[in-house]
């Protein structure tokens, strides 16, 4: 293994898998980090790798999924028993959030909620990224904010930069799908929902390889570094 002059280390992991030089823990705003091959206990829990301690409880329908580029994923079976939940996710701030997910939604027949920070006061979604009829959609408690491209049937990197009562941007594979004002009631702490929408259900059928949550909108450079980390690690 050799030292990478830009940041961190670059080398090879098991079976020649490339180890990215940038990792999410390089970001000071990191508040949640979930990997399918680290700290994941099927149907039980998903340990936060950020160091904050935002550990998620998993229902029985969340199992170990097929590996992606040698890394185990989390599989969601689309039933009411397929979700991850943390009642009080410590965001550390109440005005901004950035959620990035490596995800594959299996079917476009129905809506599939991918991830969201719930509104603790009204128990309705405030900053959700979901897949509806194959297209990924950013959602606040008043309705759709931005509708993007399809994420069905193949692995994609989906990210949503949420700025409370300000312009928020949805990304697919590090390409902006558009920006709009978000009417979020984002609070701290907020319930974290993985694979479902609180109060109304809408469970996901598909797989998640990794989730990164920040409490600030990253710079364009940091966002690209994170996306490169995903593409390098998962070969997508």
Residue 18 has pLDDT above 90, yes or no: no
Q: Is residue 193 part of a domain?
A: yes
* Mean per-residue pLDDT over the chain, rounded: 85
Q: What is the CATH number of the domain that holds 75?
A: 2.60.120.200
**Could you list the residue range(s) of the whole structural domain that residue 170 is in?**
14-234
Residue 154 has pLDDT above 70, yes or no: yes
Q: Is residue 133 part of a domain?
A: yes
Q: What pLDDT, in 10s, does the model give residues 71-82?
A: 999 999 988 888
Q: Is residue 205 part of a domain?
A: yes
Is residue 51 exposed (0-12), middle (13-18) or buried (19+ Cβ within 10 Å)? exposed
Helix (H, G, I), strand (E, B) or coil at 5: coil
For the entire predicted model, the pTM comes to: 0.89
Q: What pLDDT, in 10s, does the model give residues 41-82?
A: 999 999 999 999 999 999 999 999 999 999 999 999 988 888
Q: Are 88 and 66 in contact (CB under 8 A)?
A: no
Q: Are 32 and 204 in contact (CB under 8 A)?
A: no
Q: Look at the chain and report how many structural domains it folds into.
A: 1
Q: Is residue 2 part of a domain?
A: no
34: CB partners within 8 A, 6+ apart? 40, 46, 47, 48, 49, 56, 194, 208, 210, 211
Q: Is residue 19 part of a domain?
A: yes
């Amino acid at each position: 293994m050799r030292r990478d002059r830009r940041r961190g280390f670059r080398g090879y992991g098991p079976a020649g898998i490339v180890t990215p030089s940038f990792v999410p823990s390089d970001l000071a705003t990191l508040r949640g980090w979930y990997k399918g091959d680290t700290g994941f206990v099927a149907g039980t829990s998903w340990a936060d790798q950020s160091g904050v301690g935002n550990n998620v409880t998993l229902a029985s329908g969340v199992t170990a999924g097929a590996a992606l580029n040698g890394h185990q994923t989390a599989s969601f079976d689309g039933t009411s028993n397929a979700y991850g939940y943390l009642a009080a996710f410590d965001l550390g701030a109440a005005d901004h959030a950035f959620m990035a997910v490596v995800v594959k939604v299996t079917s476009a027949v129905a809506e599939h909620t991918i991830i969201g920070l719930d509104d603790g006061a009204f128990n309705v979604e405030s900053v959700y990224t979901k897949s509806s009829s194959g297209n990924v959609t950013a959602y606040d408690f008043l309705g759709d904010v931005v509708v993007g491209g399809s994420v069905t049937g193949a692995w994609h990197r989906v990210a949503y930069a949420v700025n409370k009562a300000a312009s928020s941007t949805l990304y697919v594979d590090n390409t902006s799908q558009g920006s709009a004002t978000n009417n979020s009631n984002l609070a701290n702490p907020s319930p974290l929902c993985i694979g479902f929408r609180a109060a109304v259900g809408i469970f996901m059928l598909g797989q998640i390889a990794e989730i990164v949550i920040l409490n600030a909108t990253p710079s364009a450079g940091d966002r690209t570094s994170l996306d490169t980390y995903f593409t390098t690690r998962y070969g997508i």
